[in-house]
A and B are shown apart, each in its own frame.
Chain A
Amino acid sequence: MIIPVLFGMSLVVFFMIRAIPGNPAQVILGQKATKEAVAALTHKLGLDEPWYVQYVKYIGGLLRGDLGESIRTGAPIAEEIWPYLAATLELSLAAMLIAVVIGVNAGIISAWFQHSWFDYIAMVLALIGVSMPIFWLGLMEQWLFSIQLDWLPTSGREDVRNPIEPITHLYLIDTLLSGNTEQFWQVVQHLVLPSMALATIPMAIIARMTRSSMLEVMKSDYIRTARAKGVSMFWVVYKHSLKNAIIPVLTVIGLQTGLLLGGAILTETIFSWPGIGRYIYDAIGYRDYPVIQSGILIIAAIFIFINLIVDLLYAAIDPRIKYN
């Protein structure tokens, strides 16, 4: 299934971005360019060729593992894209960690103590979380945690005055590899605010999902049986119920993780995080077709990969689910 899905994606993206008005040559050369310059660059980029020639060339390149070259920078995308992707991976994983740890636990406790004050507060917060404009939240976080409390840096991935030598471009790993604990803490500090902002929406969704799923499971007979046998409430909730309730939550987690990859643009903008969302967003502004195409394709591939992992996790958690 993966190959046809990716192929379909490539086709859709190819036509969609060409449907946006705006000539890349004009955009690259800027407001001050002459007509001749624009025509010359259009020709050089092969954008005056018929669409099918452009598409066949693009797919041909993809099959050879060539993601194309960025129109704006002239660099091969395969080379250029990794640092951005790494930045986003680091951010999304940190955000998902926060979202899952807090979201799942808040959902469980809310279900456990249904109609308690904790339940009400948590669910109201979750509602606010889902509807919170990330832009505003990010700026408020900066104002509170960076400027007023002076705890955390406002933006970027590192202290520019004490830059990190990239190895894998996953800075948490790079700083550990180079054994520089001071820089490691710096990276953690830089991660906190953006990942908190990015985690808000998935955290809220996960909390609500966990709560409703738990409530359903906790009404089942086997739970009553377990309680009757004298199993403590803690074990009933965290072992017996959670195991059955976690399946739909897992689906949501998988989907949300995928969404974070491409959907982190706002967070990346506010916290000037050099991630793939901004890379593709900038590329749209510049009509950098190859970057948009290949960038979206890579995100789609990761999305599919995450879903695959989620499917495998189902089977691992629930023995009733088996894949042939």
Chain B
Amino acid sequence: MRRNKWFTWLAMLLAVVLVFAGCSKPKESTGGSSEKPSAQDTLVYGRGGDSVSLDPATVTDGESLKVTKNIFDTLLDYNDNDTSVKPALATKWTVSEDGLTYTFELRQGVKFHDGTDFNAEAVVFNFERWANGNEDKFPYYGSMFGGYKNDEGHVIKEVKAIDDYTVQFVLKRPQAPFLKNIAMPPFAIASPEAVKKYGDKFGEHPVGTGPFIFKEWKRNERIMLEKNKEYWEKGYPKLNQLIFVSIPDNSARLNALLKGEIDIMEDLNPTDLKQVEGNKEFQIFKRPSMNVAYVGLTATRGPLKNKLVRQALNHAVDKKAIIDAFYAGQAEVAKNPMPPSIPGYNDAIQDYPFDLEKAKQLLAEAGYPNGFEIELWAMPVPRPYMPDGQKIAEAIQANFAKIGVKAKIVSYEWATYLEKLAKGEADTFMLGWTGDNGDADNFLYALLDKDSIGSNNYTYFANDELHNILVEAQTVSDENKRNELYKQAQEIIKEEAPWIPLVHSTPLLAGKTNIQGFHPHPTGSDKFTKVEFQ
């Protein structure tokens, strides 16, 4: 027995030594960025979640596309600050007069990371792959190009290689945002050889032409990319390594940045803005806003069936106060369902002013002089457009109370929340949307058309006049005429008031001061080609 005891003591002593040694050690050597100058060409990007798959065509989540954007290239790419297009793998393009034929001239001498050639055949292979898929395999393809090969709505009739470096798309009918769609990160050109080789596992072995080569993925921890030395943009990328790490909690991520473990963090809490702004070692990056946060007013439920009630609720919310309190001023008041940066935005629309008297008057007119009781669903997860769903819900609850509408705040776990919303179970609910391609269709049709009921039109708002306009706008290729249609659509939406549009927020990122060339893109997917440390 005596020996046992000594063993216990030894173990205890060892443990204590380990703990203390662990505490004191870092002073001597850390292996962190401060001591290894070589770390200055490695950028660590801290984000909230992990990717689902690195095959961009198969995913819809932003965390996946954020990474694949750097492994792959698309035929066209977006400019730095908006969704206007610029050449990428295609250097030039022409559009036929009827808007049905697009001819792309491809960049020559580009190789995939596996050494195979990028050419017209590769482009055709990728589009064939997606068109032969289905909703489950390639979800974005179907939603952006009207379905798949044998579907009636499928926009693309044919993709053919004219010669090695010319590829032609023939459409069944004009599609106004076609070029913007082509530039979306899901439609990145993958190496046909690698796709054949890895099959279903391509998402774990992505091979593209992009500025960075995939190296390693430890799930829930990090994804490591390495410089593509053969990249077609000469002299780029500047970084040697790009590492995406997942740190789920926003405050913990800020701590990791302050400690120097990561170089850039996304989703800075607006309330933490001051702390970072006051520190010379760090800078704030603002992602141009391409989102909207709103309160949906389910048009099929109780008093909300009445347009006057919906208008009254619109008058009752003090949006400015919400922005000051919960967004640290980093948002603008929303009056339309889409942000002002999107072509077709109707700036002539006057928002419902914050006017309690007017709201009460409308309620009385609608037959509810004493208000009513209602549920208000609060978003259970933080998003850049909705940093704290619960607290914002409480603010709106207080606003509603002033006109006699007693809102009961309800919340569910996120997946349950969306499921119940899709079934139309909420009276009023909070939600938001970040645009994919900067096109009005991606907001108005996706969120408020009657076709979208059951998917993203959670308000069950169905208006035939609006529907006709939105469908017409999808095929009009004359930009001005199209914008006119969207402006009309926004007038109808304003009048019918299926939402209380709340804000367009500016998502905040923070990074080290010596980072240069980083321009957060409104779509949320950033290319790190030109990013470097000073």
A interface residues, Cβ below 8 angstroms from B: 20-23, 26-38, 40-41, 44, 72-74, 80, 83-84, 97-98, 101, 105, 138-139, 142-143, 145-147, 150-157, 159-163, 166, 182, 185-186, 188-189, 191-192, 238-239, 269-272, 274, 278-279, 282, 284-287
With A73-B52, A269-B248 as known contacts, state yes or no: A191 contacts B22, CB within 8 Å: yes
CA A20 – CA B224 in complex, angstroms?
Answer: 35
Tell me if A40 and B134 are in contact (CB < 8 A): yes
Which A residues lie within 8 Å of B33 (CB)?
Answer: 161
CA A239 – CA B2 in complex, angstroms?
Answer: 10
Tell me if A32 and B456 are in contact (CB < 8 A): yes
Tell me if A32 and B135 are in contact (CB < 8 A): no
Say yes or no for B333: interface residue by CB 8 A criterion: no
Tell me if B31 and A161 are in contact (CB < 8 A): yes
CB contacts under 8 Å to A, within B7-62, are 12, 15-16, 18-19, 21-27, 29-33, 36, 39, 42, 44, 52-53, 60-61
Say yes or no for B94: interface residue by CB 8 A criterion: no
Binds A, one of B284-292, B403-411, B417-425: B417-425
With A101-B12, A160-B222 as known contacts, state yes or no: A272 contacts B142, CB within 8 Å: no
- Residue B252 contacts which of A22, A41, A182, A271 (CB distance < 8 angstroms)? A271
- Residue A21 contacts which of B23, B249, B252, B420 (CB distance < 8 angstroms)? B420
Tell me if A30 and B61 are in contact (CB < 8 A): yes
Residue of A nearest to B425 (CB): A21
- Residue B36 contacts which of A97, A161, A188, A274 (CB distance < 8 angstroms)? A161
Which A residues lie within 8 Å of B134 (CB)?
Answer: 37, 40
CA A23 – CA B455 in complex, angstroms?
Answer: 13
Say yes or no for B194: interface residue by CB 8 A criterion: no
B interface residues, Cβ below 8 angstroms from A: 5, 12, 15-16, 18-19, 21-27, 29-33, 36, 39, 42, 44, 52-53, 60-61, 134-136, 139, 142-143, 200, 203, 216, 218-222, 224, 243, 245-249, 251-252, 255-256, 258-259, 261, 412-416, 418-420, 422, 436, 446, 454-456
Tell me if A155 and B23 are in contact (CB < 8 A): no
Tell me if B143 and A161 are in contact (CB < 8 A): no
B512 to chain A, nearest CB (A): 14
Tell me if B222 and A159 are in contact (CB < 8 A): no
Which A residues lie within 8 Å of B455 (CB)?
Answer: 32-35
B472 to chain A, nearest CB (A): 21
- Residue A272 contacts which of B12, B246, B454 (CB distance < 8 angstroms)? B246
Residue of B nearest to A28 (CB): B52
Tell me if B23 and A29 are in contact (CB < 8 A): no
Tell me if A146 and B259 are in contact (CB < 8 A): yes
With A21-B420, A34-B139, A152-B22 as known contacts, state yes or no: A139 contacts B218, CB within 8 Å: no
Which A residues lie within 8 Å of B247 (CB)?
Answer: 155-156, 272
Sample of 20 A–B contacts (CB below 8 Å): A27-B419, A29-B139, A30-B61, A34-B455, A73-B53, A138-B252, A139-B252, A142-B255, A146-B258, A146-B259, A151-B27, A153-B261, A156-B247, A163-B216, A185-B21, A188-B25, A238-B5, A272-B245, A284-B413, A285-B414
Tell me if A101 and B136 are in contact (CB < 8 A): no
CA A145 – CA B22 in complex, angstroms?
Answer: 12
Tell me if A157 and B221 are in contact (CB < 8 A): yes
- Residue B15 contacts which of A101, A147, A238 (CB distance < 8 angstroms)? A101
Tell me if B32 and A23 are in contact (CB < 8 A): no
Residue of B nearest to A37 (CB): B135
With A37-B136, A154-B256 as known contacts, state yes or no: A189 contacts B61, CB within 8 Å: no
B152 to chain A, nearest CB (A): 13
Which A residues lie within 8 Å of B456 (CB)?
Answer: 31-32
Tell me if B245 and A152 are in contact (CB < 8 A): no
Tell me if A30 and B255 are in contact (CB < 8 A): no
A81 to chain B, nearest CB (A): 11
CA A274 – CA B49 in complex, angstroms?
Answer: 11
Which B residues lie within 8 Å of A285 (CB)?
Answer: 413-415
B14 to chain A, nearest CB (A): 9
Tell me if A155 and B251 are in contact (CB < 8 A): no
CA A188 – CA B136 in complex, angstroms?
Answer: 44
- Residue B221 contacts which of A26, A31, A41, A274 (CB distance < 8 angstroms)? A274
Residue of A nearest to B453 (CB): A35
- Residue A34 contacts which of B53, B143, B203, B413 (CB distance < 8 angstroms)? B143
Tell me if A22 and B255 are in contact (CB < 8 A): no
- Residue B261 contacts which of A155, A163, A269 (CB distance < 8 angstroms)? A155
A108 to chain B, nearest CB (A): 12
Kindly list 6 other residue pairs between chains A and B, CB separation below 8 angstroms, not including A163-B222, A270-B249, A274-B221: A21-B420, A105-B12, A146-B259, A156-B256, A163-B216, A272-B249
CA A282 – CA B246 in complex, angstroms?
Answer: 13
CA A33 – CA B446 in complex, angstroms?
Answer: 10
Tell me if A274 and B219 are in contact (CB < 8 A): yes
CA A254 – CA B396 in complex, angstroms?
Answer: 48
With A26-B418, A34-B143 as known contacts, state yes or no: A156 contacts B245, CB within 8 Å: yes
Q: Which 5 A-B pairs have the closest CB atoms?
A: A37-B135, A22-B415, A40-B136, A274-B220, A272-B247
Residue of A nearest to B248 (CB): A269
Residue of A nearest to B241 (CB): A161
Tell me if A282 and B220 are in contact (CB < 8 A): yes
Tell me if B258 and A147 are in contact (CB < 8 A): yes
Tell me if A162 and B256 are in contact (CB < 8 A): no
With A33-B139, A159-B32 as known contacts, state yes or no: A101 contacts B16, CB within 8 Å: yes
- Residue A160 contacts which of B15, B245, B415 (CB distance < 8 angstroms)? B245
Tell me if A139 and B255 are in contact (CB < 8 A): yes
A104 to chain B, nearest CB (A): 9
Tell me if B248 and A272 are in contact (CB < 8 A): yes
Which A residues lie within 8 Å of B16 (CB)?
Answer: 101
Which A residues lie within 8 Å of B32 (CB)?
Answer: 159, 161
CA A302 – CA B203 in complex, angstroms?
Answer: 32
B182 to chain A, nearest CB (A): 18
B50 to chain A, nearest CB (A): 8
Residue of B nearest to A22 (CB): B415
CA A279 – CA B22 in complex, angstroms?
Answer: 27
CA A138 – CA B224 in complex, angstroms?
Answer: 27
Tell me if B255 and A192 are in contact (CB < 8 A): no
CA A143 – CA B12 in complex, angstroms?
Answer: 28
Tell me if B31 and A192 are in contact (CB < 8 A): no
Tell me if B259 and A153 are in contact (CB < 8 A): yes
Tell me if A147 and B23 are in contact (CB < 8 A): no
CA A66 – CA B422 in complex, angstroms?
Answer: 35
- Residue B415 contacts which of A161, A189, A287 (CB distance < 8 angstroms)? A287
Tell me if A74 and B200 are in contact (CB < 8 A): yes
Which B residues lie within 8 Å of A157 (CB)?
Answer: 221
Which B residues lie within 8 Å of A159 (CB)?
Answer: 30-32, 261
CA A27 – CA B31 in complex, angstroms?
Answer: 40
Which A residues lie within 8 Å of B216 (CB)?
Answer: 163
Q: Which of B29, B31, B134: most chain A CB closer than 10 A?
A: B31
With A27-B415, A34-B135, A189-B26 as known contacts, state yes or no: A182 contacts B53, CB within 8 Å: no
Tell me if A156 and B25 are in contact (CB < 8 A): no
B469 to chain A, nearest CB (A): 21
CA A103 – CA B23 in complex, angstroms?
Answer: 20
